[in-house]
Structure 1
């Protein structure tokens, strides 16, 4: 549903993307390829290990190793509605009840949580999604160059319940650097029966993504 507020959001993101000649946020990033392996069925993951494409990015586009709100986007081919992709977009944040809703700058790619910021609704349950660098990952400063030098990165994806518990849900291994980045859109590209909550915020985010796409060259 279009409202004056959602139209204003779309116009703002379209203008910012046009000014930057790139995504409104997370303008610079690094594409990686790897594999997603489900370990639980609390989200509609593929039945087994699946090749994925991902993008690590800096929200404001700060240079070098300067801290930023760091982003992890993942595309899972064939896992969305009607055989389309499922796009996940996560941003560095806290992991508590309030912190998981608020983006925060990070000085490393491996030092804390990446959150969906808002939950998914599946049937009558709200499910949060977050990622942590795997335990064996080396400490990587917040530059894209550090990821290139490391040759990749691993993450554990965890789902959060309303009571604050986090449970392992999937493992993500990114080991091949390079390639073209798809236009990630978690609002359009998701499985049937999995909604972004609350509904009003989903509408605002959908307009933000649409505005950013429209403003890019």
Structure 2
């Protein structure tokens, strides 16, 4: 199964000459400001690069599973980056684990879909914006700058708590190769293990299929 997942994502990335999913997007720079210490955030405001993207790459303003990816330089293991990837989803016990197509960048929650394991507890990460409605096109996302998202941690009991504020203020250069499986802080792992293995092969296949 893992080999088929890797081969499938490699083939799709090669065909698109871009990531297998979220092939197009707008890259922005900004700042992340922690408001709680429930995740290993930087000690204070930190510069970030982020990308708003459409999962399947549907054209124009057609609904899609919309993505928010964030890179925090220096916040990962051994001084590397911490990459966070979130997708439009629900926010209940089950909904936060299921991608949900959205007709607007502002229509609801973005979720990590799978939880982080931190010591003996599971923690989901989600994002919400209070911006007025912005339709689901890349051009609309670019025109809506500045963006402000509140990042919240979700507990196993379904509660969400404010954790950080993400502000995106202007265009950045080329998108980094976001990879939450490789780039995360020490002591923060994904769960469950079987799904982690599949995601690792999917990201590895997508990396291998992209043009160098």
Instruction: Report the equivalent of 1:148.
Output: 142
Query: Which of 46, 49, 68 lines up with 2:45 in the alignment?
Result: 49
1:199, distance to aligned residue in structure 2 (A): 1.2
1:151, distance to aligned residue in structure 2 (A): 2.2
How far, CA to CA, are the matches of 1:195 and 1:22 in structure 2?
A: 27
Instruction: Report the equivalent of 1:201.
Output: 195
SS at match of 2:180: coil
How far, CA to CA, are the matches of 1:47 and 1:209 in structure 2?
A: 29
Name the TM-score, length of structure 1 as normaliser.
0.96
Are the equivalent residues in 1 in contact too, given 2:82–2:183 (CA < 8 A)? yes
SS at match of 2:6: helix
Structure 1 moving runs of 4+ over 3 Å: none
SS at match of 1:82: helix
1:177, distance to aligned residue in structure 2 (A): 1.6
Matched, 1:95 2:82: no
Q: Aligned runs of 1:113-128 on 2, under 5 Å?
A: 113-128=109-124
Are the equivalent residues in 2 in contact too, given 1:9–1:207 (CA < 8 A)? yes
Query: Which of 49, 66, 75 lines up with 2:62 in the alignment?
Result: 66
Query: Which of 18, 22, 26 lines up with 1:22 in the alignment?
Result: 18
How far, CA to CA, are the matches of 2:143 and 2:198 in structure 1?
A: 37
Unaligned runs of 5+ in 2: none
Task: Write the deviation string for residues 96-115 of structure 1: whole angstroms up to 9, x where unpaired.
Answer: 00000000100111110000
Instruction: Report the equivalent of 2:32.
Output: 36
Matched, 1:77 2:77: no
Q: Aligned runs of 1:102-181 on 2, under 5 Å?
A: 102-133=98-129, 135=130, 137-181=131-175
1:200, distance to aligned residue in structure 2 (A): 1.4
